[in-house]
Chains A and B, each alone.
Chain A
Amino acid sequence: EIVLTQSPGTLSLSPGERATLSCRASQSISSGYLAWYQQKPGQAPRLLIYGASSRATGIPDRFSGSGSGTDFTLTISSLEPDDFAVYYCQQYGSSPGTFGQGTKVEIK
C-alpha cells in the first residue's frame, strides 16, 4: 500500500497570497496517477487535478499541480476567499487508492 504524507497540516494565509501544498509518497506513483481534491465543510470532495498536473473540467487556472515519482505539489497562485478549504492528494494507480491526511488552508 502506498502511503501519502501531506505537509503542512495547516497553512495560514491571506487572500491574494500563494499557497504551496506538498504530497510525498512512500513509493513511486506509476504513470503520475496523482490527484488533488478540495473539500469544504459539509460537502463532498471535488476533483481539482489529475495526472499530477492536469486540471479537471471547470477548475480555474490559479490551481496548478506538478511533480513526479514520489514528490508532488499543488499550487494556488493567488488565494481567493472561496479557496479556503481542506485539500487532499490521492494516488489512483494501484490498489488501494490511498489518500493523504489533508492540508487545511485557513484564513490568516
Chain B
Amino acid sequence: QVQLQESGPGLVKPSQTLSLICTVSGGSISSGSYYWSWIRQPAGKGLEWIGRIYTSGSTNYNPSLKSRVTISVDTSKNQFSLKLSSVTAADTAVYYCASGYYFRGDHWGQGILVTVSS
C-alpha cells in the first residue's frame, strides 16, 4: 500500500515561497499507476485542490493558483514537491499530498500545517 509523507517548513514569511516535499513509500512514483496531487485545507474550512503531476512530468494546476504554483517530481528520490510563491496569510493551511486516479485522492499523507506569518 502506497504511503505518503509531507515535509517542509511549518512557518513561511509573507511574500516568500512555500516549499514542501512529499515522500512516497510502498510503491514507485514511476510506476505510472497514479497521479500525484497537492490539496490544502485552511483551518475549519473545506478542501482545495492545488494541482497534480504525472510520472511523465505533465502537470495540471488550479487556475486560481496557477500563476504561483509549481509541482515537480524527482523519481530518483521517489518524491514530488510543491512550490507556492508570493504567499500571504490566505495561504495558511494544512497541505496534503495524495495519489490516485486522475484527480482523485486514493491515498493521502497525514498533512502538514504551514503558517504564513512574519
Contact = CB atoms under 8 A, between A and B. Distances in A.
A92 B102 contact: yes
Contacts of A50: 101, 104, 106
Interface residues on B, range: 20 to 34
Contacts of B106: 47, 50, 56
Contact of A99 (B48, B61, B63, B101): B48
Given A96-B49, A97-B37, A99-B46, A47 B60 contact: no
Contacts of B51: 96
- Using C-beta atoms within 8 Å of the partner chain, give the interface range for chain A: 20 to 34
Dominant secondary structure of chain A at its interface with chain B:
loop
Contacts of A91: 103
Contacts of A46: 108
Given A96-B60, A96-B62, A101 B104 contact: no
Interface in B33-68: 37, 46-49, 51-52, 60-64
Contacts of A93: 102-103
Contacts of A88: 46-47
Contacts of B64: 96
B104 A44 contact: no
A33 interface: yes
Interface in A12-56: 33, 35, 37, 43-47, 50, 56
Contacts, number: 67
Interface in A36-84: 37, 43-47, 50, 56
A47 B100 contact: yes
Listed from nearest, the 8 A-B pairs whose CB atoms lie closest are A97-B103, A44-B108, A92-B103, A92-B104, A96-B62, A99-B47, A97-B49, A95-B60
A100 B48 CA distance: 9
Contacts of B101: 50, 92
